[in-house]
């Protein structure tokens, strides 16, 4: 949208124009002028043009400011994450809150909501509810018919849907940002098999829930690789810990008691600290190979003290940046991408941990 410069700009302005003067010149209310200048929803395009032209003519805005405000406003983005004590998901939430607090004037308007981790109905209801405000809804998907139906409804209404960490294949969703989870599971199986060495024994999986496609795909990849490459290792079934530290602790204790030959544990989901606590209490830390997901303060400590052997990580900043960048492009009329490459898989061991940057406190360490 192009604007003409002020027809008769005075050489020296007596005072800065006011918002009510812009509104009067445009023939709209002050509230409408305020909505236009703050890029809020609900104003017709021709009204936007009148307000911006009046603001330019009066010197309330510069040409550059008027052109910027005439471009499509930044997207409203609602992020829906599972509640609970999964440290990786809490880290995502913390990063989203920081984005919401520090966004620039032209940045996406971000809101983050935590919902019941394993309640498909609650997720579906939240998707529909947030569609009233959001241009794009980004969520960790539960693979369930009611969620797919909610996606069907909001995408038919013109909203953009993006999944992260765990996908929900649906023709209406714009993209998925996360790992290739089957490849992640195969990688975990390969590492665990190599770390266990030539001997046999039992290996166990602890998952959040198979209603998350990420977890079922990681499990399938792990079991397939173990069967192909390490026939001496015997999988003893998957326990559902619901990404809860206490549940994971109890499962790990039971696994060690029921399978004295246990040589490895793969935590498909989060909250690895519960499994680490069980291994330490049973005196098996450093003996049972332990591999999990998400580089967070708890897994970092477990790697450093030798309880955990490897962590498979996806950079949360890359996931969030990819989702927000896509919503910006969709808002500006770009078509949804045919495919988005998986987020890079990082492998962390005790010896290659990145430096943990912490805010300076001005105090010497104790």
Q: What is the pLDDT of residues 194-207, one digit of tens each?
A: 999 888 999 999 99
| Eight-class DSSP state of 145 | H
* Residue 281 neighbours by CB under 8 Å, 6+ apart: 253
**For 123-152, what is each residue's pLDDT tens digit?**
999 999 999 999 999 999 999 999 999 999
CATH fold of 181-314 reads: Rossmann fold (3.40.50)
**CA 193 to chain CA centroid, nearest Å:** 30
Under CATH, to which class is 19-70 assigned?
mainly alpha
What six digits make up the tokens of 364? 């010497």
Give the distance, in angstroms, between the CA of residue 206 and the centroid of all CA atoms in the same chain: 22
Q: Model pTM greater than 0.75?
A: yes
Distance, CA of 236 to CA of 258 (rounded, Å): 10
Within the chain, which residue ranges are assigned CATH 1.10.260? 19-70
Q: pLDDT-derived band of residue 364, with 50, 70 and 90 as boundaries?
A: very low
Give the whole-angstrom CA distance, residue 49 versus residue 27.
12
Statement: residue 93 has pLDDT above 80:
yes
- Pick from 318, 327, 326, 321: nearest CA to 77: 327
Using the Cα atoms of residue 349, residue 214, residue 251 and residue 260 in order, give the sign of their dihedral: negative
Cα separation of 252 and 241, whole Å? Answer: 10
Strands (E), the chain: 76-82, 109-115, 136-139, 160-164, 175-177, 201-207, 233-240, 262-267, 289-293, 310-314, 345-348
Question: Is the confidence at residue 168, as pLDDT, over 80?
Answer: yes
At 12, is the pLDDT very low, low, confident or very high (cuts 50, 70, 90)? very low
Q: Which tens digit of pLDDT belongs to each residue from 95-108? A: 998 888 876 656 78
**Where in the chain is CATH 3.40.50.2300?**
76-179+316-344, 181-314
Pick the CATH number of 76-179+316-344 from 2.40.50.100, 3.40.50.300, 3.50.50.60, 3.40.50.2300: 3.40.50.2300
Asked whether residue 69 carries a pLDDT value surpassing 60, the answer given is yes
* pLDDT one-digit tens code per residue, 209-262: 989 999 999 999 999 999 999 999 999 989 999 999 999 999 999 999 999 999
Mean residue pLDDT across the chain:
89
């Amino acid at each position: 949208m192009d604007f003409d410069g002020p027809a008769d700009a005075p050489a020296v302005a007596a005072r800065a124009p006011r918002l009510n003067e812009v509104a009067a010149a445009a023939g709209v209310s002050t509230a409408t002028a305020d909505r236009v200048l703050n890029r809020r929803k609900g104003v017709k395009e021709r009204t936007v043009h009148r307000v911006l032209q009046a603001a330019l003519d009066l010197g309330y805005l510069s040409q550059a400011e008027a052109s910027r405000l005439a471009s499509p406003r930044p997207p409203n983005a609602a992020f829906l994450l599972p509640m609970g004590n999964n440290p990786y998901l809490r880290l995502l939430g913390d990063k989203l809150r920081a984005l919401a607090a520090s966004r620039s004037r032209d940045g996406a308007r971000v809101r983050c909501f935590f919902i019941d981790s394993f309640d498909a109905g609650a997720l579906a209801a939240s998707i529909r509810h947030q569609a009233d405000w959001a241009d794009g809804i980004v969520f960790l998907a539960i693979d369930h018919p009611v969620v797919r139906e909610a996606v069907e409804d909001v995408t038919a209404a013109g909203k953009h849907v993006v999944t992260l960490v765990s996908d929900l294949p649906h023709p209406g969703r714009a993209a998925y940002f996360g790992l290739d989870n089957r490849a992640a599971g195969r990688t975990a199986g390969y590492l665990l098999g190599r770390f266990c060495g030539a001997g046999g024994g039992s290996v166990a999986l602890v998952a959040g829930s198979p209603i998350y496609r990420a977890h079922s795909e990681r499990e399938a990849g792990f079991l397939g690789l173990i069967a192909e490459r390490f026939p001496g290792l015997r999988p003893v079934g998957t326990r559902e810990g619901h990404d809860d530290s206490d549940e994971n602790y109890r499962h790990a204790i039971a696994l060690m008691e029921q399978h004295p030959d246990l040589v490895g544990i793969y935590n498909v989901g989060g909250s690895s600290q519960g499994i680490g606590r069980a291994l330490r209490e049973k005196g098996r830390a450093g003996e049972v190979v332990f591999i999990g997901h998400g580089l967070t303060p708890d897994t970092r400590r477990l790697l450093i003290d030798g309880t955990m052997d490897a962590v498979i990580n996806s950079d949360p900043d890359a996931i969030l940046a990819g989702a927000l960048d896509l919503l910006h492009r969709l808002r500006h009329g770009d078509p949804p991408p045919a495919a988005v490459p998986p987020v890079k898989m990082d492998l962390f061991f005790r010896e290659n941990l990145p430096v943990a940057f912490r805010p300076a406190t001005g105090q010497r360490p104790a």
